[in-house]
Amino acid sequence: MGLIGILIDVVGPVLIIALLGYVWAKRGPKFEAAFVTVLVNNYGTPALVLDSLLNTKLDPSTLGVMAFGALIAMGTAMALGWVFVRAQGLSVSTYLPALVWSNGGNMGLPLMLFAFGERGLALAIAWFAFSAITNYTIGQAIAARGLSLREIVRMPIMWALAIVVVSHGVGVRPPEMAMRAVHLMAGLSVPLMLMSLGYSLAKLKIGALPRSLMFSCARLFGGFAIGWGVATLLGLQGVERGVLVTQSAMPSAVLNYLFASRYGNQAEDVAGIVVMSTLMSVALLPIFLMTVM
């Protein structure tokens, strides 16, 4: 199967599940967004982090290279994104996270496996872990207009990360029965976020589409340019370069929409950016990949 076919296989399920949420908004009962947010934040995503990182062999050097690259890339995106948003007189808490945090998980991981093999997948998981943790802390703090250190420490995803660190540090894996329960719980996050996204799209105003297009272009092209620059700065080659550049150029993460919905930050506009950047990525990611393979 060609690269376009793989991308369609990756993006297709995302769009189908979002469509279910859209149909629900048109025909179904009220969608309890607050309940879904708590379920995903407190249970689904921490389980997803545990399931991913406890079942993956990540050596310290692999994690360090990608974490450092992700740190520079996301920091650069945050600085440039802040200027971009403020220059247009828009809300930083609404639009900045959509420019910084990309879909390096349910879209990035399978794509990196196909393009770069098992080593590419391991590197992509390291990127995803760093991205998820910073999205839940810094990204959520931006959306909420501030979070206390106590709130951050109490986040379930931080406890999940602590379990991963201890488990790898002492070489002891949790009981298999517990891991099976974690695996089942991990399956909650992505479908629920995508259905929430589709539900919000049903409220998207036509007037917001040009802005969604503009921010989608900034996320994809800007992310690619930043990733290329960081990889060059760090002297990365081969698989490391390919993963860092491509993960930087992924469409906006669905979690950005979830936080916008939770904190009342024009969730419909953020939903438009997430969906439009995802659709555009089907055409753009093969081009991006050809430049780094």
DSSP the chain: --HHHHHHHHHHHHHHHHHHHHHHHHHSS---HHHHHHHIIIIIHHHHHHHHHHTS---HHHHHHHHHHHHHHHHHHHHHHHHHHHHTT--HHHHHHHHH-B-TTTTHHHHHHHHHHHHHHHHHHHHHHHHHHHIIIIIHHHHHT---HHHHHT-HHHHHHHHHHHHHHHT-PPPHHHHHHHHHHHTTHHHHHHHHHHHHHTT--GGGHHHHHHHHHHHHHHHHHHHHHHHHHHT--HHHHHHHHHHHTSPBPHHHHHHHHHTTS-HHHHHHHHHHHHHHHHHHHHHHHHHH-
Q: Is residue 293 part of a domain?
A: no
Q: Is residue 86 part of a domain?
A: yes
Q: Is residue 203 part of a domain?
A: no
Q: What does the pLDDT read at residue 8?
A: 72
Q: For 225-281, how does the pLDDT look when each residue is reduced to its tens digit (9 = 90+)?
A: 999 999 999 999 888 999 999 999 999 988 898 888 888 888 888 888 988 898 888
Contacts within 8 Å (CB) and 24+ apart, 55-64: 55/179, 56/122, 56/125, 57/122, 58/122, 58/125, 58/126, 58/168, 62/122, 62/123, 62/126, 63/126, 63/129
Please tell me the distance from the alpha carbon of residue 62 to that of residue 108, in angstroms, as a whole number. Answer: 17
Q: What is the pLDDT of the chain when averaged over all its residues?
A: 84
Q: For 9-39, how does the pLDDT look when each residue is reduced to its tens digit (9 = 90+)?
A: 766 777 788 788 888 888 877 777 667 777 8
Q: Residue range 157-166: average pLDDT? A: 84
Q: What does the pLDDT read at residue 3?
A: 62
Q: Is residue 192 part of a domain?
A: yes
The total number of structural domains in the chain stands at 1
Q: What does the pLDDT read at residue 58?
A: 61
Give the model's confidence band at 42: pLDDT under 50 very low, under 70 low, under 90 confident, else very high. confident
Please tell me the distance from the alpha carbon of residue 139 to that of residue 262, in angstroms, as a whole number. Answer: 13
What is the identity of the amino acid at 39? L
**Could you tell me the pTM of the whole model?**
0.79
Q: Could you tell me the residue range of the domain that residue 266 belongs to?
A: 3-25+32-198+208-288
Q: For 74-125, how does the pLDDT look when each residue is reduced to its tens digit (9 = 90+)?
A: 999 999 999 999 999 999 999 999 999 998 876 787 778 778 887 887 788 7
Q: Is residue 170 part of a domain?
A: yes
CATH classification at residue 150: 1.20.1530.20
Q: Is residue 159 part of a domain?
A: yes
What is the identity of the amino acid at 93? S
Q: Is residue 212 part of a domain?
A: yes
Alpha-carbon distances, residue 251 vs 33, 75, 179 (angstroms):
23, 17, 30
Please tell me the distance from the alpha carbon of residue 123 to that of residue 227, in angstroms, as a whole number. Answer: 14
